């Protein structure tokens, strides 16, 4: 029997429905949640991602504005814009879309956003709070979205063996930190696998839950997955496809067609983690507005 698909679109819609009541309450108090997007250059994928986030804000009644800067923008010019956005009382959240041009340090830019407006969860203060289990900070959206998928699907994490494929700062590391915390929807035993891990397959076959965020197209194969394990695919990879109009197509880090026959639960890609990332961005923004309104 094929695995049960975890419908990220449906769960994201549920979260946005819950947020709508909170947005209405804020507006009744004279506060409209506000979110600024900053995009540097004309990266096609970044334009698409920001467009989706703008659309989601509009649907929920969140005010948003997008600042588009040329590719040649200097680091100091971008820092000046962030300082301006930090001081804008209409804005409760700031999202600087990655990737940034190579001459701009992402860590410097993320550190310049006020922690109270860091709805991406990348500021060192919020990263530190995450590691300490301090829930007053903002959690990065993609790992937070995965946590909600597991929780709302009823996947047991308490005492579970979890393998996180990938050690990146955006997904892998914070994902592992969230899952090993003491609390509901966590309490897992976590192994992080990466490019220097010996025998990744052996680790994966022990796992009750595998979260693939390694950045390699269809890396996770069926023979690496324990029967009835839960598989979450975070990856976005473009591969050649002669049958596509563009000559390429998007796939995840999981060989979905094969793994679906082994797993118990699996996220489709697209339609799994992606919608949840946007839902958690909206949730962080609404929460930032609520904190500012106190």
Catalytic residues: 53, 97, 120
Residues constituting the chain = 294
- For CA atoms 124, 129, 135, 140, the dihedral sign is positive
Encode 122-138: b = buried (16+ Cβ within 10 Å), e = exposed.
Answer: bbeebbebbeeeeeebb
Contacts with 85 (C-beta within 8 Å, 6 or more apart), sequence order: 36, 38, 67, 91, 94, 117
- For CA atoms 279, 90, 95, 131, the dihedral sign is negative
CA dihedral 7, 8, 9, 12 (to 10 degrees): 130
How many CA atoms, within 13 angstroms, populate the side-chain half-sphere of residue 120?
23
- Gap between the Cα atoms of 262 and 250, Å rounded: 22
Cβ(187)–Cβ(150) below 8 Å: no
Longest dimension (CA), the chain: 56
- Gap between the Cα atoms of 273 and 8, Å rounded: 6
148 alpha-carbon distance from chain centroid: 11
Beta strands 237-240; 248-251: pairing state: antiparallel
Q: DSSP letter string over 160-173?
A: -EEEEE---TTTHH
Q: Which of 47, 224, 215, 191 is nearest to 142 (CA)?
A: 215
């Amino acid at each position: 029997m094929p695995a049960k698909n975890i419908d990220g679109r449906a769960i994201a819609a549920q979260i946005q429905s819950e947020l709508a009541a909170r947005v209405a309450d804020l507006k009744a108090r004279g506060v409209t949640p506000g979110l600024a997007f900053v995009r540097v250059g004309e990266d096609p994928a970044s334009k698409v991602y920001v467009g989706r986030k703008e659309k989601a804000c509009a649907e929920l009644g969140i005010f948003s504005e997008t600042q588009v800067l040329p590719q040649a923008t200097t680091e100091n010019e971008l820092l000046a814009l962030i300082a301006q956005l930090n001081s804008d009382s209409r804005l409760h959240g700031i999202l600087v879309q990655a990737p940034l041009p190579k001459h701009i340090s992402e860590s410097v830019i993320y550190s310049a956003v006020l922690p109270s407006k860091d709805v991406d969860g990348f500021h060192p203060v919020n990263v530190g709070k995450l590691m300490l289990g301090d829930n007053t900070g903002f959690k990065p959206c993609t790992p937070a979205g995965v946590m909600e998928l597991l929780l709302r699907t009823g996947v047991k994490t308490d005492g579970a063996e979890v393998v996180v494929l990938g050690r990146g700062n955006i997904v892998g590391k914070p994902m592992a930190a969230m899952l090993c915390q003491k609390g509901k929807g966590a309490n897992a035993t976590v192994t992080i696998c990466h490019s220097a891990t010996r025998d990744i397959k052996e680790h994966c076959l022990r796992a009750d839950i595998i979260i693939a965020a390694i950045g390699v197209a269809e890396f996770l194969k069926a023979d690496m997955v324990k029967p009835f394990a839960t598989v979450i695919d975070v990856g976005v990879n473009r591969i050649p496809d002669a049958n596509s109009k563009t000559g390429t197509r998007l796939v995840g880090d999981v060989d979905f067609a094969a793994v679906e026959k082994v797993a118990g639960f699996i996220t489709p890609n697209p339609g799994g983690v992606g919608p949840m990332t946007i839902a958690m961005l909206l949730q962080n923004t609404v929460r930032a507005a609520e904190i500012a309104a106190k």
